[in-house]
Structure 1
Amino acid sequence: MTDEPESAFKVHYICQTYTEKKTGRAGQVALVVDKQFQYTTAEQARERAERENRSDTCAGADAYSVTEDAGSGEVSEPTFLVRLGNVPEFDAF
């Protein structure tokens, strides 16, 4: 048995979709996270975001990557691969 350390960092590729939800009596619309999918490549996440964004129920979709430090569990800020449709501002992410 060897004690080889695992890779210090792992990249996660994610597709996240949004829907619009009416809030309050004034009928204001807010974006809410609808679905989230994880992939092994950036291309897979980008393609899924493009497919999901074509759906009538999808307000918008992001495909992004984050890097996780396996030792500490800390996750980096997202690096966007594509942002389609109505998506939240980065600060709200």
Structure 2
Amino acid sequence: MTEENETGEKMHYVCQTYVAKKAARGGRGGLQIGKQLQYSTASEAQIRAEREFLAENCIGADAYVVTEDLTSGEVGSPTFLVGLGTVPDDEGV
């Protein structure tokens, strides 16, 4: 679900969760994306992130918005609305 404005852009509001990634033998564990859910508003995405963070196997959740240029199809960098628990510093999971 998205929000389209008069400038030919579409806003995507996303809730993303993280789970622990098991370490390979002798290695170090990390983060893995659990769920990626899209919403109509920033508020909906943020509320869902807060709710998902309470789930048993969720170690982190965030909500963010990205803007898509409808003419070129390019998507901009995310603007984070909330980050809960353990989330990547650079979001490069």
TM-score, reference length from structure 2: 0.88
Would you say how many aligned residue pairs link Structure 1 and Structure 2? 88
Contact 1:46 1:81 in 2 (8 A): yes
Give the whole-Å Cα distance in 2 for the aligned partners of 1:58 and 1:25. 23
The structure with more radius of gyration: 1
Partner of 1:92: 92
Q: Deviations over 1:23-54 (max 9, x none)?
A: 21125211000101000000000000000001
Give how far 1:79 is off.
Answer: 0.2
Structure 2, gaps ≥5 residues long = 1-5
4+ runs deviating over 2 angstroms: none
Structure 1, gaps ≥5 residues long = 1-5
**Sequence identity of aligned pairs in percent?**
55
Aligned residues: CA RMSD: 1.5
Partner of 2:81: 81
Partner of 1:3: none
Partner of 1:48: 48
TM-score, reference length from structure 1: 0.88
